[in-house]
């Protein structure tokens, strides 16, 4: 949705009268007045000791108001034309003013063991032990980012090559109803289950080679296959069987140069490529049915 932003440039000394007009007519507005900012700061030195230079940098006074349409903007310009030097109007995208600052507030590491985390952030606590999967490597990091895009509330998740269990844990924290993780490492259940307990979730972890017939049962809304290209190609027919209609298969662990080969095999099994993303010499390929 777009809305009309009408910017006015008051004549020297007339900004207060422009704002008074908007107050009297019940119109929401904002004012940018560097001189007023400087006066305020000088008069309140007891409550501040630093201000960003942009706050007081010299610039024209501007007042922005948000009329309903072009006709309303013309009426404003007519009513206060003698108070302004110029004006401009443009339609801009609607912004969630309450939340648009949140992407700039990042976790802050302090001291040796403290981290301040925004409350809207999904936090994964992890002790990887001897197993792969912390999010630091591109293959796992790409999968975690894909999880935010593709996990939907109530979906079921299959995690192949689950390692530390991080993808299964992330899926449940993001709203998945269930997650089943498989890995050939015999140490996996102890380490992955311990990580799951750290996050108060309970995936189902199984040791075994998923190439074995009947090891994986049922179908899943989202499948993570963070393996290697050869294994992904070898499993393509099984992946097609395990992915539910309308589901998403997220393949990672694909080394640079083999992503096209993996994509070609997947499309031969009636998968549709949704996205292919490379990072640090590794690729993620997500497909749909």
Statement: residue 189 has pLDDT above 80: yes
Q: What was the pLDDT predicted at 200?
A: 97
- What is the DSSP code (8-state) at residue 212? S
64 vs 87: CA distance, rounded Å: 10
Statement: residue 94 has pLDDT above 80: no
- Is CATH 3.30.70.120 what the domain over 2-93 is classified as, yes or no? yes
Q: Per-residue pLDDT tens for 96-145?
A: 666 767 777 888 888 988 899 988 889 999 997 878 888 889 999 999 99
Q: Which of 178, 142, 173 is nearest to 250 (CA)?
A: 142
By CB atoms closer than 10 A (0-12, 13-18, 19+), residue 207 is middle
Q: Are 250 and 283 in contact (CB under 8 A)?
A: no
Statement: residue 43 has pLDDT above 70: yes
Q: What was the pLDDT predicted at 104?
A: 74
Q: Per-residue pLDDT tens for 197-255?
A: 999 999 999 999 999 988 999 999 999 999 999 999 999 999 999 999 999 999 999 99
Q: What was the pLDDT predicted at 50?
A: 73
Q: What was the pLDDT predicted at 254?
A: 97
Statement: residue 93 has pLDDT above 70: yes
Provide the sign of the torsion angle of the four alpha carbons 158, 195, 283, 206, taken in this order.
negative
Q: Are 65 and 27 in contact (CB under 8 A)?
A: yes
* Residue 199 backbone dihedrals phi, psi, to 5 degrees: -110, 10
- CA angle, corner 11, sides to 8 and 14, nearest 5? 95
Sheet containing strand 84-93, strands side by side:
29-32, 62-65, 2-10, 84-93
Q: Which CATH number fits domain 138-288: 3.40.190.10, 3.40.50.150, 3.40.462.20, 1.10.1740.10?
A: 3.40.50.150
Q: What was the pLDDT predicted at 96?
A: 67
Q: How far apart are the first and last CA of the chain?
A: 32
What is the maximum alpha-carbon separation in the chain? 83
Q: Per-residue pLDDT tens for 139-159?
A: 999 999 999 999 999 999 999
Q: Are 169 and 112 in contact (CB under 8 A)?
A: no
255 vs 235: CA distance, rounded Å: 17
Per the document, the length of the chain is 289
Q: Are 182 and 216 in contact (CB under 8 A)?
A: yes
Identical fold for domains 2-93 and 138-288, yes or no, is: no
Residue ranges per domain, the chain? 2-93, 138-288
Strands annotated E in the chain: 2-10, 29-32, 62-65, 84-93, 108-110, 114-116, 156-160, 178-183, 204-207, 220-226, 243-255, 272-279, 282-288
Question: Residue written as tokens 């507005």?
Answer: 29
Q: Kindly indicate the confidence band of residue 23, based on its pLDDT and cuts at 50, 70 and 90.
A: very high
What is the helix (H) or strand (E) element at residue 53, kind and residue range?
helix 53-56
The residue with greater pLDDT, 18 or 213, is: 18
What is the helix (H) or strand (E) element at residue 170, kind and residue range?
helix 166-173
Q: Are 156 and 216 in contact (CB under 8 A)?
A: no
In percent, how much of the chain has pLDDT > 70? 98
Across the chain, mean pLDDT equals 92
The residue with greater pLDDT, 72 or 45, is: 72
Query: Comparing 7-11, 56-60, 240-244, which segment has the lowest mean pLDDT?
Result: 56-60
Query: Comparing 68-72, 145-149, 176-180, 238-242, which segment has the lowest mean pLDDT?
Result: 68-72
Statement: residue 27 has pLDDT above 70: yes
């Amino acid at each position: 949705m777009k809305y009309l932003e009408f910017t006015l440039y008051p004549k020297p000394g007339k900004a207060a009268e422009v704002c008074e007009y908007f107050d009297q007519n019940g119109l929401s507005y904002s004012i940018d007045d560097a001189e007023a900012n400087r006066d305020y700061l000088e008069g309140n030195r007891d409550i501040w000791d630093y201000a960003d230079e942009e706050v007081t940098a010299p610039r024209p006074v501007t007042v922005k108001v948000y009329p309903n349409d072009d006709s309303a903007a013309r009426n404003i310009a007519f009513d206060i034309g003698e108070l302004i030097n110029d004006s401009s109007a443009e339609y801009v995208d609607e912004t969630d003013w309450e939340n648009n600052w949140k992407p700039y507030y990042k976790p802050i590491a302090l001291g040796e063991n403290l981290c301040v985390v925004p409350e809207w952030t999904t936090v994964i606590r992890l002790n990887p032990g001897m197993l792969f999967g912390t999010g630091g490597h591109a293959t796992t990091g790409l999968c975690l980012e894909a999880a935010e895009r593709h996990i939907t509330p109530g979906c079921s998740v299959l995690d192949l090559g689950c390692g530390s269990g991080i993808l299964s844990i992330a899926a449940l924290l993001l709203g998945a109803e269930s997650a089943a993780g498989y890995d050939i490492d015999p140490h996996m259940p102890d380490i992955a289950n311990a990580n799951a307990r750290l996050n108060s979730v309970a995936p189902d972890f199984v040791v075994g080679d998923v190439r074995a017939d009947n090891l994986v049962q049922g179908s899943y809304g989202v499948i993570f296959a963070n393996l290697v290209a050869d294994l992904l190609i070898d499993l393509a027919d099984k992946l097609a069987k395990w992915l539910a209609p309308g589901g998403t298969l997220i393949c990672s662990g694909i080394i640079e140069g083999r992503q096209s080969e993996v994509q070609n095999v997947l499309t031969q099994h009636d998968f549709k490529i949704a996205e292919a993303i490379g990072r640090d010499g590794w690729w993620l390929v997500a497909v749909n049915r």
